[in-house]
Amino acid sequence: MKVIYVILTTTVVCCSCKNTMQQETAYEGKDISGIIRISIDKDTKVSTLTIETNGKWALYSGSSVDNIDFSNPIAKHPEPEGQDYNRITLSSLSRRYYQLITDEGKATVAERHLPMAGGYNFRDLGGIKTKDGRFVRWGKIFRSDDLHKLTEDDLNYLASIPLKSIVDFRGEEEQKFAPDKLPVSVVNEFKLPIDPGNVISLMGLTDLDSTQMDSIMMRMNILFVTDKDFIGYYKEFFKLLQQEKNLPLLFHCSAGKDRTGMGAALILYALGVDEQTIMEDYLASNVYLSDKYAKEIAMNPNLKSVLSVKKEFLQAGLDQIKTTHGSVEKFLETTLEVDIPAFRKQFLY
C-alpha cells in the first residue's frame, strides 16, 4: 500500500473556494461509505484516510460539506502515472469533509469522532443511515461530553466548523465545577439543566453494588422522559434544532452519554434511524469514554454503571415512552412538538 501526504491549510482552502467547480454533495448509487476509514490524531489533528477498494475512485475535500472543491481531487485511483494510493495522510487543523466518488456510487464522509485533545466523547451525528436509505447531514448536529479542558487547538478546530450554538444539559453545580470553554464562533449558549444525570452526584454513591447502580441508571432514563421539567427542556432543545439560525449546534452534558445520549437517540428516532443503529450509537460512548474514567472505575468497580452505558439504560427510557405514548414518534410529534417531515427535510440528504 502506498501513502500520499497532503497538507491542507486555511489559506489554500480559501483560495480554492473561489474557483470551486460546484457539484452537489450527496449519496448516490451503492452505499460506498463503508469502504473509507478516517482516523484523526487528537493532538496533531493529522488525518489518515484508508480507501479499501481496488476499483476506480476519486476523493475531493472541503472545509464544509457545501464547500467541497470538485475542481481537483486530493487523490484518485488509478493515478495517470500508474502510482496507486489507498492511504492518504492529511495535515489540517480545521474540520474537513470529503466526497468519495467511485464507479458504483458516491458518498459524503467525515470522521464522526472529533479529535479533541481535551475531550473524549465529541461526535458529529452526520453520516448515519436511516431505515429508508437516506443519511443524516454532516456538520449540523454535534454531541459531546464537557468542554472545560479543551485546548486552544481544540477550540480552533471547533471554530472551523463553525459551531454556532451550545446546549448545556448540565446542572448548576456541574457548570460551576467545570465551566465550558467555547470556540470564538459560538454566538448562542443555551442552558437546559437536567439534574438527574449529574455524574458528580452519582459518583458519590460508592456504597451501592452494581445491580443497584444499574437500577438507578434505568430509573434515571425513565425520569428523563416522564418528568415535566425535563420533557420541557427536551422540547426546547428540539425547538432550537429546528431553527436554522442556531446551526451548527453542539449539545452536551458531563460525560455526553446519559442526558446527551437520550437527546441523540430522540434525534435519530425523529430522522427515521432504526433502533438497533440508535443503540449502537448510544453504546459507542463506552469506547470513547474508556480513558476518561478508567482511574475512577479501577478504584471502585461499582462505579462502572455510572461512568458507562448499557443497552438496558436507554431501553428503559424508550420502553417508557412507548408504554405512555404508543411510540417514540408519537412522543416526538405530540409532546416534544417536532414536525417530523420538516425535521427530516432539514437534516437528511
| pLDDT at position 80 over 70 | no
DSSP string, 146-178: --TT--HHHHHHHHTTT--EEEE---HHHHHHS
Res. 186: pLDDT tops 50:
yes
- Tell me the pLDDT tens digit for each residue of 293-348: 999 889 888 888 889 999 999 999 999 999 999 999 999 999 999 999 999 999 99
- Which residue in the block uniquely carries the three cell numbers 479501577? 298
CB atoms within 10 A of CB 172: 11
State whether residue 183 is helix, strand or coil: coil
Alpha carbons 74 and 85: distance in angstroms, whole number: 11
Give 271-287 pLDDT, tens digit per residue: 999 999 999 999 999 99
Q: How far is CA 125 from CA 31, 104, 160, 188, 203, in A?
A: 18, 25, 17, 20, 28
Domains within the chain, CATH numbers bracketed: 3-109 (2.60.40), 123-347 (3.90.190.10)
pLDDT given for residue 78 in this prediction: 84
C-alpha to C-alpha distances, 139 to 112, 123, 135, 163, 169, nearest whole angstrom: 10, 10, 12, 9, 21
Is 47 strand, coil or helix? strand
pLDDT in tens, 47-60: 999 999 988 999 99
For 243, residues 6+ apart whose C-beta sits below 8 A from its C-beta are none
Cis amide prior to 196 (ω within 30 degrees): no
pLDDT given for residue 249 in this prediction: 99
**Which residue has better confidence, 212 or 164?**
164
279: number of Cβ within 10 Å: 17
Q: 42 and 115 in contact (C-beta within 8 Å)?
A: yes
Using one digit for the tens of pLDDT, what is the confidence trace for 204-227? 566 778 888 899 999 999 999 999
Alpha-helical (H) ranges within the chain are: 10-17, 152-159, 172-177, 199-202, 210-224, 228-241, 259-270, 275-283, 285-288, 294-299, 311-325, 328-330, 340-347
Q: Percentage of the chain with pLDDT > 90?
A: 78
Q: What pLDDT does residue 304 have?
A: 87
